Amino acid sequence: MSSASPKLITDQLFERLFPSLELGENLLGEFEVFGIIRDAKKIPVEDESLIVQGLGWIVLGDVEKGSTLCERALSINPSESAIWVNYAVALGQKGLYTKQRKILKRGADMLLPSLMMFDFITSSFWADHEEMKRVKKLFKSLDDIELSDKQKGDYMGAEVIYDTLEKLPISERDKLSGMAALAMQLLESNGVRARNCGQYVSPDGMLSFNYDVAGAAPDFIVKLNDELASRIVDNNLFDADSIVLFTPGD
């Protein structure tokens, strides 16, 4: 009987890990994840072996060890979009947004379309008009690229946010981006994740970015908003014509 190809083995191991990566929680149990890491060590293609091992360690909660392995995979094969994307997804779903954004910006600089798309959409989540504008310029250096229906939908949603931010005065864009960055810091420091970000315009024209915190008790949402308000005041962003809030998610 012939053995399975390295690519097939890689795909099989990744498929077992993916639900845990996507949710940001270990759905398999330590024993099974250690088994995946052990099997990944046998993959003869080094970058594939390293990325599966790295993702496994991130699922287990050892982000430092996992990141080291993922970075080694990138150093071997920096043009492989799947390594960048899966690494970034794993970090983001763990609520490590600062690390995720650094990875996405590096990937976008490689002119990898899927990474540029991911960076653009993620930047819209954090009201980062400057990064969105930078990525749009990078896109102009590429030929037309094909997008799936989901990618088209996600990109169009981010474009709506970009157009909204583009219409704001520069000072207001900077304030909104600054408040979103403070919200990111609070999420990370409290070890919680935002599952969604809703953008709303009130009848009086105020733009609101609402970060849904899944599974959070009402008292905790109040605590987060109180801390956010204090930081907004401390950073002299209180006179903005927009607002950033935490809201309970499903």
CATH 3.30.300 fits 170-249, yes or no: yes
Q: Quote the CA–CA distance of 40 and 49 in Å, as a whole number.
A: 5
Q: Are strands 207-214 and 194-201 parallel, antiparallel or unpaired?
A: antiparallel
- In tens, the pLDDT along 64-120 reads 999 999 999 999 999 999 999 999 999 999 999 999 999 999 999 999 888 999 999
Q: What is the model's pLDDT at position 53?
A: 97
Q: Quote the CA–CA distance of 185 and 95 in Å, as a whole number.
A: 10
- Contact assessment for residue 31 and residue 63, using Cβ atoms and an 8 Å cutoff: no
Q: What is the model's pLDDT at position 6?
A: 55
- Contact assessment for residue 93 and residue 67, using Cβ atoms and an 8 Å cutoff: no
| Domain definitions of the chain by residue range | 1-94, 109-167, 170-249
Name the packing angle between helices 81-93 and 46-60 (round to 10°): 10
Q: What is the model's pLDDT at position 197?
A: 82
Residue 50 has pLDDT above 90, yes or no: yes
Q: What is the model's pLDDT at position 2?
A: 34
- State how far Cα 41 lies from the chain centre: 27
Question: CA dihedral defined by 106, 25, 23, 102, rounded to 10 degrees?
Answer: -10
- In tens, the pLDDT along 126-148 reads 999 999 999 999 988 887 777 77
Torsional sign, CA 228, 231, 235, 237: positive
The phi, psi pair for 147, rounded to 5°, reads -125, 145
Q: What is the model's pLDDT at position 212?
A: 93
- In tens, the pLDDT along 170-222 reads 999 999 999 999 999 999 999 999 988 888 877 777 788 999 998 889 999 99
- In tens, the pLDDT along 31-49 reads 999 999 999 999 999 999 9
